[in-house]
Amino acid sequence: MENMYHTTTTARVISETGSLTEFYNLTNKLSQTRFVRFTGKNDEADNIEWRFTYRGRKLMLQYNIYTGLSLHTSNIKDSKAAEKLAEKLIQ
């Protein structure tokens, strides 16, 4: 199986010490309070990436055992939306 890692232009760190439990809590929060539907997932032993669309913006939530939790976008235009969503997730 070929590894496919998401190439991003911007990343917003949510928690440098984020755990896998926190990742799943955030995905649950996104789906229940922001009505997000996940469009793709890449689950590896040390890296998990779940892609979704939020208000027309393509974003990705990532958990990495080395870097923690972060929110990514592949388009610089979407970085402002990612920043606002990250702030809402942190609260």
Structure tokens at 85: 């969503």
Q: Which domain holds residue 27?
A: 10-90
pLDDT tens series, the chain, 91 aa? 444 445 556 788 999 999 999 999 999 999 998 889 999 999 999 999 999 999 889 999 999 999 999 999 988 888 888 889 989 888 7
Please check whether residue 79 lies inside any domain of the structure. yes
Q: 18: domain CATH number?
A: 3.30.160.690
Secondary structure class of 33 (helix, strand, coil): helix
Please check whether residue 4 lies inside any domain of the structure. no
Please check whether residue 5 lies inside any domain of the structure. no
Burial of residue 68, with CB atoms counted within 10 A of its CB: 0-12 exposed, 13-18 middle, 19 or more buried: middle
